[in-house]
Structure 1
């Protein structure tokens, strides 16, 4: 299973990535929303793990809500 982990805290990013890899997952990382969006558009991920506290990222770009027609 391939996971994209988007997190701006390098400590949290490193620890979560390490734990997921230890469980056998393939993990790509991004340090901000723009980098994460570019990775999500360029690759096929099974799971996206997103930091919802990013203030400059509109997460509906990743997963549109039903209200947005997604």
Structure 2
């Protein structure tokens, strides 16, 4: 697992923990989105209707129709 994958996994883990506190989740994802490398992940997490369950979340979001 490379550094980017580790950071994505950490971001997803934190999003899982913050899921019920929508305000805190939104603020966290705003910070994440400031980094161009993680903007897509932050956007996908904000659009999600259910909390992410695994690091495979991002790959599933990429396959979903917009």
Which has the larger strand fraction?
Answer: 1
Which has the larger helix fraction?
Answer: 2
Bigger Rg, structure 1 or 2: 1
TM-score between the two structures when normalised by the length of structure 2: 0.40
